[in-house]
Structure 1
Amino acid sequence: MEHTFEHEASHIGYEYREITVPSELSSLCLDSYPCFGWEQDPNHEKISIPSGQHHVGGRSGQKSGTILYFRRNRSLCNRTELTRLQRNFDSCIAELQALERSKTTSAMIAALTVALIGCAFMAGATFAVTADPPIIWLTILLAIPGFIGWIVPYFLYQKLVHKKTAEIEPLMENKYDEIEALCEKGSRLIH
């Protein structure tokens, strides 16, 4: 008994890519990368990284993220142009991350500075009360701005984050529009 097998000699060569993105941007990347010829690698599942762990291309202590795995046919038409569009997309994602971080950076610096000044006043109040003889009037005079310096940073932080968020929202919307335009161009090149 003889078996005959029909074997198609159609090998597809793939190039592979692994990216690490914040969890809030993983859906955007999963939806956008197919526009540049990439498909999710069926041999890997996306991996969620808990906050504070080391991960590919990242630093310890970062927010949680997701590692995404993609593959793309090496013989894809317009691959060079798709790669250029994809690099622009990647830079837009990096700019979105930087804009997101900038919402809290200056607010955190301002709040910590005010808190540190409050600590300096409280240290002065402590030295005034432990002096021999204790200088009560100076203790009270220094403790009041010290307590204010401990209370104000929370409200200052909230106000500055809100203000910066209002400034940055239009810039983020422009980046999302730019990402949409890049994806449309890439999708037209594939189809």
Structure 2
Amino acid sequence: MPNIKKENPDFIGYEYREININNKLVDLYLDNYPNFGWQIISAEKAQPVNSKMIIKLKRNRHIANKQELTRLQRKFEAQLSQVDKLEREKTVRASATALTIGFLGSVFLAASVMLFHYNIFLSFVLGIPGLIGWILPYWVYTNIKTRRSQELSPQINKLYDLLYDTCEQAHKLLT
């Protein structure tokens, strides 16, 4: 039987993690996960069509202050999900309004086409709001998105400050 040492001082046991995230947040994850003791193994697209990324990480299982680092990591992830939610909220109302206007424009144009053989004047009258309903959504979308971005910007900046404070606390625990 070979001589086996019970303790190997060079041995490091790792825990592994794989996270699936939005492309827009990849840089934040890659920059800040090392503050929680994680090493980045790889970052790759989930699927060619998908806007998600898969990041593979590893960390020493016996890292100092592991419980506190895990708590701070969960706090970091919750803050990032709030940032992502607010970023999506910028465009949700704008998209819904623009789509509604576009749909109503389509309804007017469809009615205009159906009435063309029976009443040409009414057909033209219905065609005008239909065309406006197809042209207007772009400006409505950009206007609402810009206003919503200005409204949410202070909240998002405050969340980023909290995020970086959390990462700074975790980094202090590692060093």
Judge same fold: TM > 0.5, yes or no: yes
Say yes or no: does 1:89 pair with 2:76.
Answer: yes
Specify which of 116, 122, 135 is matched with residue 103 of structure 2: 116
Percent sequence identity is 38
Structure 1 unaligned spans of 5+: 1-7, 54-63
Contact 1:126 1:139 in 2 (8 A): yes
* Structure 2 CA distance for partners of 1:105 and 1:123, relative to 1, 3 Å: same
5 Å-filtered alignment, 1:58-97, equals: 64-97=51-84
Q: Normalising by structure 1, what TM-score?
A: 0.82
Task: Give every structure 1 segment of 4 or more consecutive aligned residues whose post-TM-superposition deviation is greater than 3 Å.
Answer: none
Q: Deviations over 1:37-86 (max 9, x none)?
A: 11223xxx321345534xxxxxxxxxx23221111111112111110100
Residue type matched to 1:101 in 2?
Answer: R
What corresponds to 2:4 in structure 1?
none
Say yes or no: does 1:126 pair with 2:123.
Answer: no
What corresponds to 1:9 in structure 2?
8
What corresponds to 1:38 in structure 2?
38
State the secondary structure of the residue aligned to 2:27.
helix
Structure 2 unaligned spans of 5+: 1-6
CA RMSD of aligned residues (A): 1.8
Contact 1:48 1:67 in 2 (8 A): yes
Q: Normalising by structure 2, what TM-score?
A: 0.88
What corresponds to 1:170 in structure 2?
154
Q: Report the alpha carbon displacement of residue 128 of structure 1 after superposing the two structures with TM.
A: 1.6
CA distance in 2 between partners of 1:27 and 1:146 (Å)? 43
Q: More helix per residue: 1 or 2?
A: 2
Q: Deviations over 1:91-138 (max 9, x none)?
A: 1111121112111111111011111111111122122213xxx21221
CA distance in 2 between partners of 1:27 and 1:154 (Å)? 30
CA distance in 2 between partners of 1:104 and 1:171 (Å)? 16
Total equivalences in the alignment: 169
Say yes or no: does 1:107 pair with 2:94.
Answer: yes
CA distance in 1 between partners of 2:49 and 2:24 (Å)? 16
